[in-house]
Chains A and B, each alone.
Chain A
Amino acid sequence: MKRWTNVLGRGGTVLIAISLALLLVSLIPQINLGTSAGRMPVLPEQVFATGSRVLTPQQGFQVKVTVEGTINVYLLEVGSEEPYSESMLFADAAELQEFLEANPNLIIWDYNLEDGYFERYYAPTKVMNATLVFYNPSSADAILDYEVTLTSTVAPGEKVRNIAYWAAPIGIILALPWLLNMWKQRKQS
């Protein structure tokens, strides 16, 4: 019984130590690697794509978009080994639709915005190319106001923090009997 208390207790304290490390990692601020922003009219059936960018799991993509009219926002994932990574700028809507139909697995975001504000963050779980595409599917002109920020981070902060928040209480529960036992022994001696 005492041996199991020791084993579980030390396991608990190790979990607490790992949680502290993860919490510390999540507190390391992310670095802004660059921002591209613009305001532009998007004509009916016009496609506008940002340049393809290689992202790693330690880089993220912050997108803020304000739309007047109707705009479809796509974030497309193209692996760095894929042949079409070099020519991701679509010439027209037909080419875009053809690509979307042929590669549904490469679509990360597919949002339809109508006179609204859109803000999303994306961090990949592998090394990949990412291309942000805006498309006006309507017959009326639309105004697109966008800001794309590339960030660099040590680890995905929210994910790491959530794990720490779960691991720490489990660690405390496991370690408590062992710590109490140790405290009692010290008191007796």
Chain B
Amino acid sequence: MTSMGKGKPFLEVLSSAIHEDYRFPFLEVFAFLYGLGTFVFASFGVTITATGATNQVTATANEVVAYGAVSSILSLPLSIFIILVFKNIAYGLGSDLEKGIIQTYFSYPLRRRGILTAKLLSALGVALLLFLGIQISGLYILAPDIILPQLGTVLLTYAASLSYPLLIAGIMLLLTLKLRRGGISLVVGLVLYFAMSIVSGIATIFAIVTETPLSLQIISAISPSIVLTQYYGGTLGNFWAPAFSEVLLYTGVSYVIVAFVFVLGYTYFSRRLNL
């Protein structure tokens, strides 16, 4: 079979997955919430007081404003995005496994990894495209002279903030494939997501008491938004002033971990999943 020949079954699986994941009016409701949330939660004022408020801040004022603006619009919309992705992976893939739809896909002239790619493109790719497209466009409407010159900061903030949710999505994928149903993996995903705020709180207290950033550095390897918060705001204390290269390093490491979990998912789906 040529690569041209594989394109059609791939599109077939992808369109079927999109149809299942985003039944009318799911996509529209999420688009509405992202649009509304982007403007309602946007804030440019908070960061101004943070600029220069502490000697830990090494970023420039414009970068801090851009970071603050992105962080403000990420607050609730990110939770909505996570709900959508978790629903798609746990229930989308889980119900396909339960109902035997994946078995039907296995009869298509398409490799297993192609089937999983199509499912993930629908569950994660479309959701990310919608989320980032609306949020970045909204920010551009609000403050083009902040967003365009600081596009690197904007993208880095999104990358750091999405890393941990993507890691949980990968873990949920593994669990859903292993258990062949989505309910438990959805619960585990939600617990892991909310557990991070508790763990990072404990790590922050530990770091402040011991005056060493080790606990925060360890957590930053899976949730680099912590090192980014310290880099742009310096709000966690005077004991840690990460350099920009450190921020990039933690973000890179976190995505290596995310990639590793997804590779495990692909390997399991391609070689070990017996239906």
A residues near B (Cβ < 8 Å) are 3, 6, 10, 13-14, 16-18, 20-22, 24-25, 28, 54, 56-58, 80-81, 124-127, 154-156, 159-160, 163, 182
Contact = CB atoms under 8 A, between A and B. Distances in A.
Contacts of A3: 11, 15
A156 B24 CA distance: 31
B42 A154 contact: yes
Interface of B: 11, 15, 19, 22, 24-25, 27-29, 31-36, 39-40, 42-45, 48, 51, 60-62, 65, 130, 134, 141-146
Contacts of A80: 48, 51, 61
B27 A13 contact: yes
A18 B142 contact: no
Contact of B45 (A21, A28, A58): A58
Contacts of A57: 44, 142-143, 146
Say whether chain A's binding surface is mostly helix, strand, loop, or mixed.
helix
A153 B39 CA distance: 10
A41 B48 CA distance: 36
Contact of B48 (A16, A17, A54): A54
Given A56-B45, A81-B61, A154-B40, A18 B145 contact: no
29 contacts: A3-B15, A6-B19, A10-B27, A14-B31, A16-B28, A17-B28, A17-B31, A17-B35, A18-B134, A21-B31, A22-B35, A25-B40, A54-B48, A56-B44, A57-B44, A58-B142, A81-B60, A81-B62, A124-B145, A125-B144, A126-B62, A126-B145, A127-B44, A127-B48, A127-B62, A127-B146, A154-B39, A155-B142, A156-B141
A25 B27 contact: no
A156 B142 contact: yes
Nearest to A159: B141
Contacts of A160: 39, 141
Contact of A58 (B42, B61, B145): B42
Contacts of A56: 44-45, 48
A128 B199 CA distance: 38
With most chain A CB atoms within 10 A of its CB, the pick from B11, B34, B45, B130 is: B45
A13 B28 contact: yes
A126 B28 contact: no
Given A17-B25, A22-B39, 9 more contacts: A10-B27, A17-B29, A18-B32, A18-B35, A21-B32, A58-B42, A124-B145, A125-B144, A154-B40
Nearest to A154: B39
A56 B22 CA distance: 37
Given A56-B45, A56-B48, A13 B24 contact: yes
List of 7 A-B pairs having minimum Cβ-Cβ separation, nearest first = A21-B35, A126-B145, A56-B44, A57-B143, A17-B28, A17-B32, A125-B145
Contacts of B31: 14, 17-18, 21
Nearest to A2: B15
Contacts of B19: 6
Contact of B36 (A21, A126, A182): A21
Nearest to A182: B24
